[in-house]
Copies of this chain bind each other. A is one copy, B any other.
Amino acid sequence: MFRLDPRLEESSRLLLALTLCEARLQDDARYPWIVLAPRRAGLREIEDLDPAAQTVLMGEIVAAGRAVRAVGAAIGFSVEKLNVGALGNIVSQLHVHVVGRRAGDAAWPGPVWGVGAAEPYGEGLLAGALDAARRALGGGAE
């Protein structure tokens, strides 16, 4: 049975259940940032998915990129580059980060992972970010 690692759960908010993945917004106002976790138990690597599911994952990564741009627009962060990463060195459960970046952001031009501490949105900004992401992912507002 699929169970999201509690460390991923704590740092993010649920957006939508997509065909393959649970999509979550990282609660970090430094960057528009979505995490995708395939809703299957026991996955560590992309190769653990069958090829059809790998294709679905790729489509959901691209969709998450659009949603990251929408979150960026909602919070005044103009996305210049997407960063996509599946690392799992700390939380080994398969998950893919899709992060919006711009010159001068908190980690630019390095990767975001492991840099500084998350800056939670706060309730006012969070609602707009979640709404923008859900609309972009095709789920409408909550």
Q: How many copies are assembled?
A: 2
Within 8 A of B (CB), among A75-118: 81-90, 92, 101, 108-111, 113-114
Chain A count of residues within 8 A CB distance of the other chain? 32
Residues of A contacting B: mostly: mixed
With known contacts A89-B109, A111-B111, A58–B46 Cβ distance under 8 A: yes
Interface assignment of A59: CB less than 8 Å from any CB of chain B: yes
With known contacts A46-B84, A82-B45, A89–B101 Cβ distance under 8 A: yes
Within 8 A of B (CB), among A122-141: none
How many angstroms from the CA of A85 to the CA of B98 in the assembled complex? 10
Interface assignment of A54: CB less than 8 Å from any CB of chain B: yes
| Chain B: CB-nearest residue to A99 | B87
Interface, chain A (partner B; CB < 8 A): 44-47, 51, 54-55, 57-59, 61-62, 65-66, 81-90, 92, 101, 108-111, 113-114
19 A-B pairs besides A81-B89, A84-B87, A89-B108 with CB distance below 8 A are A45-B82, A46-B62, A47-B65, A47-B66, A47-B82, A51-B59, A54-B59, A55-B55, A83-B86, A83-B87, A83-B89, A84-B85, A85-B85, A85-B86, A85-B111, A87-B111, A89-B109, A110-B113, A111-B113
